[in-house]
Amino acid sequence: MSTLVDYSVDDGIAVIFINNPPVNALSQPVRQAIKEATMAAGGDDGVTAIVIACAGRTFSAGADIREFDAPVKDPSLPILNDFIEACAKPVVAALHGTTLGGGLELAMSCHYRVALKSTRVGLPEVHLGLIPGAGGTQRLPRLIGAAAAIEAITTGRHIPANEAMDLGVLDEVVEDDVLQAAVRAAHRLVGDGVISRTGDRDVDLETLQDGVFSKAKAKLSKRRRGFDAPQAAVDAIEWASTVPFSQGLLKERECSNTLKASLQSKAQRHLFFAERLALKIPDIPKDTPLLDVATTGVVGAGTMGAGIAICLLNADLPVVLVESKQDALDRGLERIRKTLDRDVDRGRLDSETRDVRLARLTGAIGLEALGTVDFVVEAAFESMEVKKKIFTELGSICKSTAILATNTSTLNINDIAAVTCSPDRVIGTHFFSPANVMKLLEVVRGDKTAKTFVATTLKLGRRIGKTPALSGVGYGFIGNRMLEDYVRESQMMLLEGASPAQVDSALEAWGMAMGPCAVMDLAGQDVSFLTRDQNRELLPNDPLYCVPGDIMNAEGRFGQKTGKGFYQYPDGRTRQNDPDAIDLINAAATKLSVKKRVTITDQEILDRCLCALINRGAQLLDDGIALRASDIDVVWSAGYGFPAYRGGPMFYADSVGLDVIVQSFETFAKEFGNDYGYWTPAPLLVNLAKSSKTFAEYDADQKGSA
């Protein structure tokens, strides 16, 4: 028997104990050992029933994802699950922790499922561009019905044990000692003499409401626009309702294999590993001591400050919210209360938890209230003068071990750190608005930021539910610096004759959550202009540079906040085409002698915007601002609406071919000129293309591959 699985027999019950830390992944050696143990129990006359359990903090959290690109070795998980379900002796699963993916599929192939009350179960394969491929789409609807299975599988959510029992996924939930509860259940099943196999059931006809499958697909086409896996999951669940179990398993497996080989799934799996790799910094050892963050403070009670405070409160951290004036503080505190109340109204939060979180919130006037906190994040106005003043005071007020973070989106962290007595404690934490919703957190490492403070901030980012990625100091860091080039090219095409609607529609149809014109209206044309104006010396001296945005700002068309920008917003949110905006842009183009083009195709819009984006990413790698190409992919997928099924801009570039990207630059340089270097490819991009390498291989060469 493998050391990955312990096997013992007591009083007629064989216990198969999986021990493959940290998450008991069902790798091939584990599957083989489970099968051998099940065979041993099945052939032992002294064994009357079997219990499958796991050591450590969780029952199996699924398959070993690293095996997905390798040939399948027997026994595959589908074969193992079929073997367990067919066992002539009762098999009971004892669940705890997070029983996910293949782990839940294994449990559903057992004849009875007992779980600790703290257990959460789910089939999250959809987030990897897959469907459950080891019987999940066929067994789950037989346990809980088609409609509930569609919801569970297409969202991939983690379902609490009590809810899972109410649905029918679990048979029993216990407060403690799940293994002993499973053994007792095994004895009961032996006494009953009946084995309940999930595959023998039919899908409950009452769950097949009229049009359940077509309605689900229509809903998913909007909510999960562009993703293949959710649609395929609905098909697979429909098979469970229309064909025999054995045939459904075969169709599920065929569909799963097709998805696994797809570019969408490879892209989403790339991001899965990239997000985890982003936390590993080459020059920061694993054993770097971390600071204990037990109390926090936020400077600034505006929209961003309030959102950051909510993030911290949601992570069970006490927050001191500081303002300079009482009326501003009161508005911030009220904004936080209303947000948490809204979460209660929408069922995301219970009222008791809301009250506990609000009890951890303290409002204060003056920075002196932050003298004892462990982590301070400044969320004041984006002005170097304002931030330097705040950090000069924080450096003398806060305790020597406190992390001093700034939420700047573009300003130089080193300049801010220089005004403190301890620049090693200063770090950038670039949250994205709304801070309590957006997942990305750019952690910006200053030249003197100590490793302990970097490591602690990255861990804190995960603790508050964010997806952290490290950036070096530079204008716009990673995300906004790339956005600058992307927006520049989109606005150049506005001058050439494309409409905001055409530019946005082309990119949104390709998969972007919002087009660049809509993004600028959402962020605020005034904010974008101020950023450009403060950094003119860092930008090309091009008279056409982002002129459409400058015009919107000059005309007071700031976007959604004023009801007009590139679009009209009659209700403050829904955009409508605005002929006045187009007239303003056309007038500027005429004044600047920009040649109008008869046709700008959607493909050209895609190519020019994405090439500009990719090229800046390559330059950031060359400059050392970004550590890895995969970090750039994390930033743009988590913070800028880049479609996860395309894997991020650098993964996408690899999929297209870097030689193709470089050729596009040559074409654009000939067609549009290259006076300002827009169509000069970054040296790294050229070198990789010449050597027929990819950004993924570049990462691997840097010992940072996802």
Active site residues: 105, 125
The stretches of 464-578 forming alpha helices (DSSP H) are: 479-496, 500-510, 516-523, 525-534, 547-554
Crossing angle of helices 479-496 and 500-510, in 10° steps, is 130
Kindly report the three-state secondary structure assignment for every residue of 272-336.
Answer: HHHHHHCCCCCCCCCCCCCCCCCCEEEECCCHHHHHHHHHHHHCCCCEEEEECCHHHHHHHHHHH
Residue type, 108: M
| H helix or E strand, kind and range, residue 226 | none
Residue with tokens 């990207």: 661
Q: Is 241 helix (H, G, I), strand (E, B) or coil?
A: helix
Q: How far is Cα 104 from Cα 123, in angstroms, rounded to an integer?
A: 7
Q: How far is Cα 428 from Cα 617, in angstroms, rounded to an integer?
A: 20
Q: Specify whether the CB–CB gap between 256 and 128 falls below 8 A.
A: no
C-alpha pair distances (Å), 318 with each of 296, 298, 315, 483, 508: 6, 11, 9, 34, 40
Q: Specify whether the CB–CB gap between 454 and 284 falls below 8 A.
A: yes
Phi, psi for 172 (deg, rounded to 5):
-160, 140
C-alpha pair distances (Å), 26 with each of 99, 241, 566: 12, 28, 52
Q: How far is Cα 362 from Cα 431, in angstroms, rounded to an integer?
A: 21
Q: How far is Cα 63 from Cα 124, in angstroms, rounded to an integer?
A: 11
DSSP assignment of 611-649, as one string?
HHHHHHHHHHHHHTSBS-HHHHHHHHHHHS---GGGT-H
C-alpha pair distances (Å), 463 with each of 56, 290, 459, 466, 685: 21, 13, 6, 7, 35
Contacts (Cβ under 8 Å, ≥6 apart) of 349: 340, 343
Q: Specify whether the CB–CB gap between 16 and 40 falls below 8 A.
A: no
Q: Specify whether the CB–CB gap between 567 and 578 falls below 8 A.
A: yes
| H helix or E strand, kind and range, residue 47 | none
Residue with tokens 């992919």: 633
Q: How far is Cα 394 from Cα 382, in angstroms, rounded to an integer?
A: 17
